[in-house]
Amino acid sequence: MPISGRASGEAPPTRGIALITLILILFFLGAIGASLIGMVYSRLLSITLEIDRLQAQYLVEAGLAQGLYEIKTGLDVFGGGRGNIPVTALGPGAYQVIIDPKSSTLTAIGVVRDVRRVSVVKYE
């Protein structure tokens, strides 16, 4: 009889190898799942930020349109002076328009959460 305690011709034990293989497979599946969750979360944050950027840009455009309307018609709709619009809430954010008569420019600022957009337009 051999020293290992097995009769010659017996197959070596494989129970331990199966357990180790199962643990490795589960580890790799967990790593793949965690990376997938991380990618989805990152994409969600990116999309949310892009939506905020677009909304802030639309607020800037709304402010510019209102400011140009006040200048063309001579009306002071918001009471901040012709073309000047105080901070005005609209949708998820707010906008503000500041007129500089010396340089004939309108500066519109749109803010949604932490995103801020500024646009300057020269008028005649």
Residue 110 pLDDT exceeds 90: yes
Instruction: Indicate the pLDDT class of residue 4, thresholds 50, 70 and 90.
Output: low
Burial of 27 (0-12, 13-18, 19+ CB in 10 A): exposed
- How much of the chain, in percent, has pLDDT values that exceed 70? 88
Q: Which residue has the higher pLDDT, 6 or 34?
A: 34
Question: Across residues 1-9, what is the average pLDDT?
Answer: 58
Question: Residue 107 corresponds to which amino acid?
Answer: T
Q: How far apart are CA 85 and CA 99, in angstroms?
A: 9
CB-CB neighbours of 49 under 10 Å: 13
Per-residue pLDDT reduced to its tens digit, 30-70: 999 999 999 999 999 999 999 999 999 999 999 999 988 98
Q: How far apart are CA 63 and CA 72, in angstroms?
A: 14
- Locate 6 and state its tokens: 């097995």
